[in-house]
A = this chain, B = another copy of it.
Amino acid sequence: MNDFHVYDTTMRDGAQQEGLNLSVQDKMHIARHLDDLGVGYIEGGWPGSNPKDTEFFALAAKELDLQHATLAAFGATRRAGAVAADDPLVAALRESGAPVVTLVAKSHDRHVELALRTTLAENLAMVRDTVTHLRGEGQRVFVDLEHFFDGYLANRDYAVEVAGAAAEAGAEVVVLCDTNGGMLPHQVTDVVADVLAATGTRLGIHAHNDTGCAVANSMAAVLAGVTHLQGCINGYGERTGNADLVTSIANLELKLGRPVLPAGRLADATRISHAIAEITNYPPSARQPYTGVSSFAHKAGLHASAIRVDPDLYQHIDPALVGNDMRLLVSEMAGRATIELKGRELGFDLTDDPTRLARVTDRVKQLEQAGYTFEAADASFELLLAEEMEGGRPTYFDVESWRVIAESAAAGASAEATVKLVAGGQRLAVIGEGNGPVNALDHALRQAIDQLYPDVARFHLTDFRVRILDQGHGTDAVTRVLIETSDGKDSWVTVGVGANMIEASWQALVDALTYGLRRHGVSRVNA
């Protein structure tokens, strides 16, 4: 327990993010994921401050069987002028059953005076009394010094005195918090070095991203001697967020040579980062360091051949180390080498037939000239490859026609779609209603085929983007639609192009369902 460790505060400080709300069950799921990843400590919330957090600790004590991590309860030092043993909020920490209590304390003189409305001396007493009391009751104590860096710059001696007092009273770790997030790494380096020299106690770092430097500030603190690092999965948190714990862990293990997870667990980072994003309902950023879907994506172009020979020249780590994958994007400059590599990635070997490879490359170029883009639409690209490799485009139904009517109405507007198609040997004509034209088409199409292909009930449209291409050229403009679809587990993007936005959406919708059914291994039903 004295080793360097990482401490997750997703369920407490992360939950301060605007719009992020976690239920007790969400927290149970997140705690299991964090334990699975192998973090040292998981802060579960502030028992006593609200009923949900109190309930979480009660449930965790009964049902949360952590294999690796230790649960921590967050709370504040006792009130001014009171006694820790009698403080009801301190009692809630004692009763939480958490082996570790992380106490937040003030170390910035102005905050003591303005927010706590007490004296600097009484604040010191509050820290000593609360730490001593909880230690006496058998709990381990960490102390978060709120606004520490700003406090240090305003009144260094007082800030250092509070850090020393916490350690003397029995706090295992004194955590320096950049609560307002305004620091840059060189400042963190200097402050940590000075506090370490002045107190000789074990220090931790808690950084926010207001200067875009939360991770770098954490690394600077580690290099200056802290041995406890706090953060939130995916960088959740108030304002600009906390230090992203996934990026911090990957940097610690792969860049600074400090293992903080049990061996091999880092390879689950991408999966766990995305799984927690599903729980918070904040889509994971495609550009998140290490775990984003774009983080090892290359617009190959000219360099495709060099990437093939030595991928290490073009990526800072092997993506498999964090459970991610290299991806080559089929872009406007796509040449045969890119198409070939991309084909291999999707499970198609194009090497043995140069004529076919040339034909596919030409077709991609032609389609991109017409406005398609495949770099963001892997699913449509896979259907195109399948068409070329398997002697025909995969289809599950044959479209005869579609029509949409959208009109103004008293309450908003309405949309109705008619779809006529042949599937399973039957001609089907159905209508669908929706709050918009694409929604109506989507409903009609599903309704037509969901008896034959029940899997479509699991697919839902999660994102939809429209662009006008060649804008400025007036009526020549074509519309490109990108649709993202999810089956609750995976998601895929399809593309449609046309002068008519509804037509482009229809193409992307048909591709979306076709790709989904193919991915689920469904066979076409004929008469």
Given the known interface contacts A333-B50, A407-B404, the answer about A292 and B498 at a Cβ–Cβ threshold of 8 Å is: no
Residue among A299, A402, A408, A472 with max Cβ neighbours from chain B (10 Å) = A472
| From B18, B436, B482, contact of A499 by CB (8 A) | B436
Q: Is the CB of B21 within 8 A of A211?
A: no
How far, in whole Å, are A187 and B228 apart by their CA atoms in the complex? Answer: 22
Mask for A399-418, Cβ within 8 A of B = 1, else 0? 10111111110001111000
Closest Cβ neighbor of A116 among chain B residues: B306
**Which chain B residues border A460 with CB–CB below 8 Å?**
474
Question: In the complex, are the beta carbons of A295 and B239 less than 8 A apart?
Answer: yes
B255 near A287 with CB under 8 A, answer no
Interface-lining segment among A90-98, A119-127, A307-315: A307-315
A35 at the interface (CB under 8 A from B): no
Q: Contact between A405 and B404 (Cβ–Cβ < 8 Å)? A: yes
- Contact partner of A500 among B415, B468, B503, CB < 8 A? B415
A 462-477 binary contact with B (CB < 8 Å = 1; else 0): 1111111111111100
Stretch at the interface among A212-220, A358-366, A382-390, A444-452: A212-220
Contact status A412-B503, CB under 8 Å: yes
Question: So how many copies of this chain end up in the complex?
Answer: 2
In the complex, A406 Cα to B406 Cα: how many Å?
9
> How far, in whole Å, are A333 and B463 apart by their CA atoms in the complex?
23
Binds B, one of A159-167, A177-185, A515-523: A177-185
List chain B residues, Cβ under 8 A from A227.
none
The residue on B at minimum CB distance from A416 is: B405
Indicate if A288 sits at the interface (CB-CB under 8 A): yes
Residues of A within 8 A of B (CB): 16-19, 21, 23-26, 50, 108, 110-111, 114-115, 147, 150, 180-182, 184-186, 209-217, 219-220, 223, 235, 238-241, 244, 247-248, 250-251, 255-256, 281-283, 285-290, 292, 294-299, 303, 306, 309-310, 313-317, 329, 332-333, 373, 375-376, 399, 401-408, 412-415, 435-439, 460-475, 479, 482, 484, 498-503, 506
Beyond A110-B310, A180-B314: 18 further Cβ-contacts under 8 Å? A18-B376, A23-B469, A23-B472, A114-B310, A182-B255, A209-B289, A210-B295, A212-B289, A283-B472, A399-B408, A412-B498, A413-B500, A435-B500, A436-B501, A462-B471, A462-B472, A463-B472, A466-B501
Nearest 5 interchain pairs by C-beta = A182-B316, A216-B216, A466-B466, A413-B503, A403-B407
